[in-house]
Amino acid sequence: MPDDFNLKSFLADLPHLPGVYRHIDAQDEILYVGKARDLKKRVTSYFQKNLPSPRISHMVARVARVDVTVTRSEAEALLLENNLIKRLKPRYNILFRDDKSYPYLMFSGHEVPRIAYYRGSTSGKGRYFGPYPNAWAVRETIQILQRVFRLRTCEDSVYAHRSRPCLLHQIGRCSAPCVGLIDTAAYQADVDRAIRFLDGEAESVLRDIEARMRQASKALDFELAAVLRDQMGALAKVLQQQSMEKVGDDDVDIIAVANAGGRVCVNLAMVRGGRHLGDKPFFPTHIHEDDSAGDVLAAFVAQHYTDGGMPPVLVCSHPLPDAGLMRLLGEQTGTRARVLVRPQGLRRTWLEQAVRNAELALTRMLSESTARVERTLALATALDLDTDEAALDALHIECFDISHTAGEATQASCVVYEHHDMQPSLYRRYNIAGITPGDDYAAMRQVLTRRFSRVADGHAELPGVVLIDGGKGQVEIARQVFVELGLDTHTIVGVAKGEGRKVGLETLVFADERPSVALGIESAALMLVAQIRDEAHRFAITGMRAKRAKARTVSRLEEIEGVGARRRQRLLARFGGFSGVVDASIDDLRSVEGISDELAERIYHALR
């Protein structure tokens, strides 16, 4: 404890009120964030002689001071605690990745609703189903609704300007309300049936379709009867593929915890409206040896459900150690959820399946993690870098590549490798301007100067390795930039392509006095370098193509005589983008304000 922190006086002054406390070390690092119903009792318990675990003893030994925040209720303390944990990431808290942006299936609020994949707030108009554990589950459901109920998925701008049915109608995936092949009332009825299906009333919907088919047949409307027959067959097939049955009217989350090899996996499976939507594994960090499965489960439940989205039933593989947690979450979210630890019947089957999936995900993660660590170790050894466990995990590699087409739409990419994996959230693209088209050296000089000027100014850290996709020429440019900025050139490593550009024959080229190194085709280090280099190339290529396509889209319309900025804007808005303009007929084009018959023909032929 620092001299100016009087622990005895501090503890004596603590109130018997709910709140949040933060243990802080001498370097002002937050070690641990916790909540308390009674701050005085809870914080005082950390400074007794007999602490409950070695982890807590180790943490308390580092505590220099304790900060507290009083809250109006224990539920408010829970919310503040989890917000601080997510923001501060204390090393002694069990942390889960903050992934609240789960996907939903949306029925829009239009007169003729569309179904769509959706992320974001569900407070807007329309009907939302979910959340789903992954994007695949949403898209699979959309495909089912298209096959069975033939609902539209097109954007509003496309829907409003269709003059003929699209391909989805031709393959039986949409009933084409855009051109009146189904009236609004009949389409809305299909929407209602789709919603009932998602609400778990599939058998009722099936009987409804069958009754309508028989009625159409009696009325000799054989075309409608055939459509309903196909719809009923598609729905029956879907129901046969659904292995899970509905249990009551509750939605259920199944949460299983598995541990092995010093790592823990929490697997979350979701059941909504009687349909098992799949599961998603989470791998918490900052786990310690004395953290029980119940501790991990409690941390997950608190961090995952604090902001809402909790179903009325949680089926868990382990008991929650804090009996008051669900009460607090109920006060915070407005949902009073039941926790089942020894479920029966189908729920027991769901839990056993979730436990198996947690174990499989953990085994797969440990296997992949070991391989990734071995590759990082091989590269660090080849480059004579620090190879202890912490240094390997913290090794930060940035790789730069230049991409263009004959000098057009030049872009540089920067991809990042850290913690034994690529980090897409840290990727960056740089538009290159003011250089001679096709001058890759000038492009590399520009991007490196822009990126590492921030390092020279003290606003960013220098990576452990700076990979340059190129040989001696590109490395020399990098060396010059680093010398001008006063940075260590030892970090620069070029990847020179081998003879005939064959994979495995690459050579590592250095900016200092070290000789080039050919690692060999079997080298784990070269496999990692190739992966990072290829990712940089892929990222650069996709950015360059998008930039080039945008430029060409605009330029093709600009090149047409009589199409100025205003008419171009009207065309793009009218047909929902450039591809819509290309697909438009002469009659469609002339319907746009300001487009004469002559100009419509000119645009039509210019884009062919």
Element (H, E) at 555: helix 524-558
Q: In what order do the strands lie in the sheet with 127-129?
A: 115-118, 104-107, 127-129
Answer whether 379's CB lies under 8 Å from 531's CB: no
- The band of 444, judged by pLDDT with boundaries at 50, 70 and 90, is very high
User: Quick count: other Cβ atoms within 10 Å of Cβ 167?
Assistant: 8
User: Quick count: other Cβ atoms within 10 Å of Cβ 533?
Assistant: 22
User: Quick count: other Cβ atoms within 10 Å of Cβ 303?
Assistant: 23
Answer whether 536's CB lies under 8 Å from 474's CB: no
Domain 252-364: CATH superfamily, name plus number? UvrC, RNAse H endonuclease domain (3.30.420.340)
- Reduced to 3 states (helix: H, G, I; strand: E, B; else coil), residue 517 is strand
DSSP letter assigned to residue 522: T
Between CA 61 and CA 403 the distance in angstroms is: 53
Same fold for the pair 391-547 and 559-606: no
Answer whether 361's CB lies under 8 Å from 335's CB: no
Report whether CATH 3.40.1440.10 matches the domain 7-72: yes
Look over the chain and give the mean of its residue pLDDT values, rounded to a whole number: 82
Whole-Å CA distances, 424 to 58, 372, 581: 35, 16, 34
Q: What is the pLDDT of residue 399?
A: 95
pLDDT in tens, 269-278: 988 766 777 7
Domain boundaries, the chain: 7-72, 252-364, 391-547, 559-606
Could you give the maximum distance between any two Cα atoms of the chain, in Å?
95
CATH class of 391-547: alpha beta
H-only helix segments in 398-469: 440-456
Q: Cis link prior to 284 (omega < 30° from 0)? A: no
pLDDT in tens, 75-106: 788 878 888 888 888 888 888 865 556 788 88
H-only helix segments in 322-457: 325-333, 345-382, 389-394, 440-456
Rg (CA), the chain: 31
Between CA 518 and CA 506 the distance in angstroms is: 7
Percent of the chain predicted with pLDDT > 90: 18
* Placement of tokens 């020399």 in the chain: 476
Answer whether 395's CB lies under 8 Å from 465's CB: yes
559-606: CATH number: 1.10.150.20
pLDDT in tens, 529-545: 988 988 888 888 776 56
Q: What is the pLDDT of residue 241?
A: 47
- Reduced to 3 states (helix: H, G, I; strand: E, B; else coil), residue 564 is coil
Q: What is the pLDDT of residue 462?
A: 93
Structure-block tokens of residue 301: 């439940």
Lowest mean pLDDT among 250-259, 481-490, 504-513: 504-513
Closest CA to 62 of 99, 90, 87, 104: 90
Answer whether 10's CB lies under 8 Å from 40's CB: no
pLDDT value at 247 more than 60: no
Between CA 463 and CA 107 the distance in angstroms is: 46
